[in-house]
Amino acid sequence: MATEREQQLMRRALELAANGPTRGVNPQVGCVIVSPDGTVLGEGWHRGAGSAHAEVDALSHVGSDAACGATAIVTLEPCNHTGRTGPCVDALLDAGIARVVYAVDDPGTVSSGGGARLAANGVSVESGVLREQAEAFLGDWLTTARSGRPLVMLKWASSLDGRTAAADGSSKWITGDQARADVHRLRTRSDAIAVGTGTVLADNPSLTARTATGELYEDQPVPVVFGIRDLPVDALLRQHPHPHVRLDGRDLESDLRTLRERGIRSLFVEGGPTLASAFVRAGLVDEFVVYLAPAVLGGDHLALTDLGVGNIAEAHRLSLIDVARVGDDVRLTLRPKGRN
């Protein structure tokens, strides 16, 4: 059983992990190397795809002989495969690490098994230390790793009666400046932003994340367009810092797997009601972000179209995670029941 000191150092490893990037397919991982008497010898964290993993980074700060007989405290099971870097298991064995304590099992079919391999080579291994805290920390990454697709956040802005445009189709602007600025900040947190071809043809969006003064944020989401219609040669998204990705949208689950294979961990869906409804019908929305403006419009321009709900028992039930006032508008954050 993990000692109180090991639990304390696991909390430190989680703090270190938070230094890593939140975007991309790699997890945030932290590691602490500690001597048999409890002295911290080295600390490290993973800085992103292609860089040293947390265990290797921590070992790099330890003398060549000092790691022999030491303990590695790491937030995620050491990987057991060769990707852009070698297996962390090999690095730990080569360093002479005697004990490995980790929080969460690696869910990857290729990268998992590190704990068993370490144990088979005589290393004392303990898993599940502060598992709940670590799983909460790795929540989004674990969701994508276990499902094999990006985390999907669906956003729309509407009037109180659920309309996204007036009777004549005009929709600029339903919400206020602060709400729109808030959306742009959310865009920067996602690897990609998605719309359908209908939105591109109707609104000609740039699909960039911009400050209140119109400047581009440093972190830009990759633009993704679902649909088969041709895009105009002068579409603004063609000026995006990243080349746009085209997917036909006929099989959203397959499309999402394709995106994850391209290194996209999170997708911010801002398309119109057709695309939004397709994601909801398919049960592929992990989080809803809805901005409600203090206005009523009436009419036919609803945020969502037919969802195949025939009676109240078939309703898509959501859990309310957060409510925030953003200027004169309200932002609701919700997740499907059972996913929070």
Q: Which residues are catalytic?
A: 55
* Contact present, 15 and 30 (Cβ < 8 Å): yes
Number of H helices, E strands in the chain: 10, 13
Q: Is 53 annotated as a binding residue?
A: yes
Q: Is 22 annotated as a binding residue?
A: no
Q: Is 236 annotated as a binding residue?
A: no
Q: Is 210 annotated as a binding residue?
A: yes
Q: Is 171 annotated as a binding residue?
A: yes
Q: In what order do the strands lie in the sheet with 287-293?
A: 245-247, 222-226, 192-196, 266-269, 151-159, 287-293, 329-336, 318-326
Q: Is 199 annotated as a binding residue?
A: yes
Q: Is 319 annotated as a binding residue?
A: no
Q: Is 258 annotated as a binding residue?
A: no
* Contact present, 178 and 304 (Cβ < 8 Å): no
From residue 301, how far is each of 142, 166, 179, 226, 291 by CA, in Å? Answer: 36, 7, 20, 21, 16
Q: Is 272 annotated as a binding residue?
A: yes
Long-range contacts, stretch 166-169, CB < 8 angstroms, 24+ apart: 166/297, 166/299, 166/301, 167/297, 167/298, 167/299, 167/300, 167/301, 169/301
Q: Is 273 annotated as a binding residue?
A: yes
Q: Is 274 annotated as a binding residue?
A: yes
Which residues are part of a known binding site for substrate?
Answer: 171, 187, 203, 207, 210, 270
Which residues are part of a known binding site for Zn(2+)?
Answer: 53, 79, 88
